[in-house]
Chains A and B, each alone.
Chain A
Amino acid sequence: MGPATGSAPFAAVPGVAAFRAGVRAWLDSHDLTPDGSHSLDAQVAQLSRVRQALYDAGWMRYGWPPSVGGFGGPAVLRAVLGEEVASRDLAEPGIYSLIEVLAPTMICYAPPPLAAEMVPLLLSGREQWCQGFSEPGSGSDLASLSTRAVPRGSSWVVTGQKVWTSLAQYSARCVLLTRTAPGHGGITAFFVDMDTPGITVRPLRTMHGVDEFAEVFFDDVVVPGMRMLGQPGEGWRLASDLLPYERSTCFWHRVAYLFTRLDRLVSAAAVDETGPDGADEAAVGAAYLALHTTRCRSRETQRRLAAGETLGPETSVDKILLQTAEQRLYDTARDLLPGAIELDNSPWRAEYLYSRAATIYGGTAEIQRNIIARRLLDLGKE
């Protein structure tokens, strides 16, 4: 299956401002509003619908190389597109942004024909993919992972368990980290079809009521050798290489989304007949200041990426700013909308509860501070 037949909206790759204007005009005349259902099934179906429409219209293909069905151009165009999607609430930004870690991995590490065949399936919304990284025994200490891959003929046989795998139950493929030898240099990545015999997916019940994460069990799963990503032992480098994408484009999307929630909060809170008092103003101001600061920092990171710089441990600063801003925003929502989270079954409830995980996923707040202390402040070993 080749790339879809959509044509490019522009004759040449546009600049950021022209691209943004083009996306906005197109979205103004193409209604992709979700149907209002908040179930995960509905969210995932909506995500596929949005990706497919944007891919067919060409927008989703900018910022990706022609070798995988893209129209080329800088990655910042993907940040702009994601911001427009998030600002209009067309798709949940967490699952929308998964492509930002999955597709670059394929482009950098998959054999080129495999990337050319597969990546368009992801970009066009025809498939969902997942990332099999964390394990029950390997969370913060990811490098200790123990899901084994053992060679058998020209294939590898995988046995073990993953956890916190987003959208595994909807996914056709998985970028999977396995152990093929001891140590950091003994981690090897594979691109696994999720319908391979021996794979069992069990959605995790979480406190916010959306079963976005799953446990994935691998029981003698046979993976062809040609599905290896990179070389044996390159898995740790692959995982580290994802950081620039996760911490730049994904973060820009998420900040845009959080701004929409602040807008929504002040509109909802304004109808309170007592009106805002000084404490309300201070709380809204603090949430706004934290979001604005995060957005400023994220823009600097986008600019460094655009200038060809290699992003590294300094993105832990972005991560801490973002997670702190997110939790402050939802704490403020709980204060300004009394009972909305506890008593009313509004979207604020699930979003508030989900925000509690912001200091845990993607590297905990403590791990980020450890990285900053060691790598940015050069404080030596613990």
Chain B
Amino acid sequence: MVDAEELALLTDTLRKTMTAASGQALDAAMTELGWHDLLAELPGVALPLVFRLLGETGAQAPLLNDVLLVAAGREPGGVVPLPYAGGGWVVWARSGEPGTAVDAELPLRRAGHGEPLDPVALATGRRAVGWWLLGTGRAMLALARAHALDRVQFGRPIASLQAVRHRLADTLVALDGAAAALAAAGDVSAGEEELGALLAKAAAGQAALTAARHCQQVLGGLGFTAEHALHRHVKRALVLDGLLGSARELTREAGRRVIADGAAPRLIDL
């Protein structure tokens, strides 16, 4: 177990590391920090914390490969083809070659084919990407909130306008709901871990896309410039939503399961 003080210290260290480095440099720094041990020994702490912070800081590293490898009982440090929306496959390189994704920072490119992932590994990966999407959504909300308070039009901050306030409120509702689904995915009833992770990833993808839509609107023209940070998070949300199944696909898959069962699995209890 990790106590609150250790967790705060770890959070602080990770945030500083991710603020200072990204990509290959962050991959190396994480290995140095003991990421592999953390993942093997404390996945319940490592997964939410590391991936949420990637989202919040806007940094990126090919750590999802490690999550899938370790969950499948293999050694971390390699690369594994990842399922993408629409039945596609992608590779998240860790050797430095650039990718083709709309989010140009991510060294991600299409791959011809891949081996179907072990279901436990897939579920673990979906939770990790879900936490990342949540962090990305929170980063967008923070940017839009700060702008709404700063930006004066008609002689007052636009944060005083109800239309703006309600968009930001809806963003927070979506993000907090997704956070609850992600937290619950860590302790659903036995045998339902895969469905719990699927729903959590769907909720997180949907919430991040909701955040992108509302925050882009609140930021107005500024959020459309490449000078402002928002576009990086918007593009990251788009790419991460498709990774290991999009919110749209996963939602439909959940519906198929409910219809086949003739009942909706409750997954969690008091």
A residues with CB within 8 A of B: 16, 20, 76, 79-80, 83, 252, 259, 262-263, 266-267, 269-270, 276, 278, 280-286, 288-289, 291-297, 299-300, 302, 314, 317, 320-321, 366, 368-370, 372-374, 376-377, 379-382
With contacts A294-B177, A321-B177, A382-B162 taken as known, whether A262 is within 8 angstroms of B264 at the C-beta atoms is yes
Question: Which among A270, A276, A300 is the interface contact of B183 at CB below 8 angstroms?
Answer: A300
Out of B169, B251, B262, B269, name the residue touching A263 (CB < 8 Å): B262
Q: Please, which residues of chain B bring their CB within 8 A of the CB of A297?
A: 176-177, 180
Q: Please tell me if the beta carbons of A369 and B169 are within 8 angstroms of each other in the complex.
A: yes
Complex interface: chain A residues within 8 A of B213 (CB): none
| B266 pairs with A379, CB closer than 8 A | no
A270 to B263, CA, bound (A): 11
CB interface residues, B 166-220, toward A, < 8 Å: 166, 168-170, 172-173, 176-178, 180-181, 183-184, 199, 202-203, 206
Q: Which of B157, B254, B268, B270 interacts with A288 by CB under 8 Å?
A: B254
| Interfacial residues, chain B to chain A (CB-CB below 8 A) | 145, 148-149, 157, 159-162, 165-166, 168-170, 172-173, 176-178, 180-181, 183-184, 199, 202-203, 206, 248, 250-256, 258-259, 261-264, 266-270
Residue pairs across A and B with Cβ atoms less than 8 A apart, 8 shown, are A270-B262, A278-B252, A285-B256, A295-B268, A296-B268, A314-B176, A366-B166, A379-B160
Docked Cα-Cα span, A370 to B162, in Å, equals 8
Q: Given A263-B264, A289-B202, does the pair A379, B159 have CB atoms closer than 8 Å?
A: yes
- Cβ–Cβ < 8 Å partners of B178 in chain A: 293
Given contacts A281-B255, A288-B255, 10 further A-B contacts (CB under 8 A): A262-B258, A276-B259, A282-B255, A295-B266, A295-B267, A296-B177, A320-B173, A379-B168, A381-B160, A382-B162
On whether the beta carbons of B259 and A281 are closer than 8 Å, the reply is: yes
Across the interface, do B264 and A317 meet the contact criterion of CB distance under 8 Å? no
Given contacts A252-B270, A380-B160, contact A284 B259 (CB under 8 A): yes
Which residues from A are CB-within-8-Å of B256?
276, 281, 285
Closest residue of chain A to B261, judged by CB? A266
In angstroms, Cα B264 to Cα A294, docked, is: 14
Q: Complex: how many Å from CA A314 to CA B180?
A: 13
On whether A288 and B258 interact (CB within 8 A), knowing A266-B263, A293-B203, the answer reads yes
User: Smallest Cβ distance from B214 to chain A, in angstroms?
Assistant: 12
Q: How far is the CA of A349 from the CA of B254 in the complex (A)?
A: 26
A167–B130 alpha-carbon span in the complex (Å) = 44
- Please indicate which of the listed interface residues A267, A291, A292, A374 has the most CB atoms of chain B within 10 Å of its own CB: A292
Neighbour of A369 across the interface among B149, B165, B263, CB < 8 A: B165
A267 to B264, CA, bound (A): 10
Please report whether the interface of chain B is mostly helix, strand, loop or mixed according to DSSP.
helix
Is the beta-carbon distance between A76 and B264 smaller than 8 angstroms? Answer: no
CB distance from B241 to the nearest CB of A (A): 14
Min Cβ gap A287→B in Å is 8
Interface centre among A76, A276, A373 (most CB of B within 10 A): A373
Q: Are B165 and A292 touching (Cβ within 8 A)?
A: no
Nearest neighbor of A381 in chain B, beta-carbon distance = B160
Q: Which residues of B contact A283 (CB under 8 A)?
A: 255
Please state if A284 and B176 are interface contacts (CB–CB under 8 Å): no
The distance from the CB of B167 to the nearest CB of chain A, in whole angstroms, is: 9
User: Are B172 and A76 in contact, with the CB atoms below 8 A?
Assistant: no
CA–CA, A263 to B252, complex, Å?
A: 16
Pick the residue among B159, B206, B248, B270 that contacts A76 (CB under 8 A). Answer: B270
Counting chain B CB atoms within 10 Å of each CB, the highest count among A267, A280, A288 belongs to A288
B172 / chain A contacts, CB cutoff of 8 Å? 317, 372, 376-377
Report B-chain residues with C-beta under 8 Å of the C-beta of A278.
252
B165 touches A382 (CB 8 A): yes
A317's partner among B168, B176, B250 (CB-CB below 8 A) is: B176
Question: What are the 3 closest A-B residue pairs judged by CB atoms, nearest first?
Answer: A285-B255, A373-B165, A284-B255
Smallest CB separation, B175 vs chain A (Å):
9
A381 to B170, CA, bound (A): 18
Contacts of B206 in A (CB 8 A): 289
Selected contact of B259 from candidates A252, A259, A270, A369, CB within 8 Å:
A270
Chain B residues contacting A269 (CB-CB under 8 Å) are 259
- Contact A280–B259 (Cβ < 8 Å): yes
Given A299-B270, A377-B168, residue A263 in contact with residue B263 (CB < 8 A): yes
Q: Which of B160, B184, B259, B261 has the most CB of A within 10 A?
A: B259
CB neighbours (8 Å) of B145 from chain A are: 377, 379
Residues of B within 8 Å of A374, CB to CB, are 165
B168 touches A373 (CB 8 A): yes
**With A266-B263, A317-B176 in contact, do A382 and B160 touch (Cβ < 8 Å)?**
yes
User: In the complex, A266→B256 CA distance in Å?
Assistant: 10
> Which A residue sits closest to B176, measured CB to CB?
A317
- Are B177 and A267 in contact (CB-based, < 8 A)? no
Do the beta carbons of A282 and B264 come within 8 Å of each other? no
| Complex contact B255–A280 (CB within 8 A) | yes
Q: How far is the CA of A282 from the CA of B180 in the complex (A)?
A: 22
Contacts of B168 in A (CB 8 A): 373, 377, 379
Name the one of B159, B169, B258 contacting A285, with C-beta atoms under 8 angstroms: B258
Indicate if the CB atoms of A293 and B251 lie closer than 8 Å. Answer: no
Task: Across the interface, name the chain B residue whose C-beta is closest to A302.
Answer: B270
A285 in contact with B253 given A297-B177, A299-B268 (CB within 8 Å): yes
A111 to B255, CA, bound (A): 52
| A284 vs B256: C-alpha distance when bound (angstroms) | 8
A73 to chain B, nearest CB (A): 13
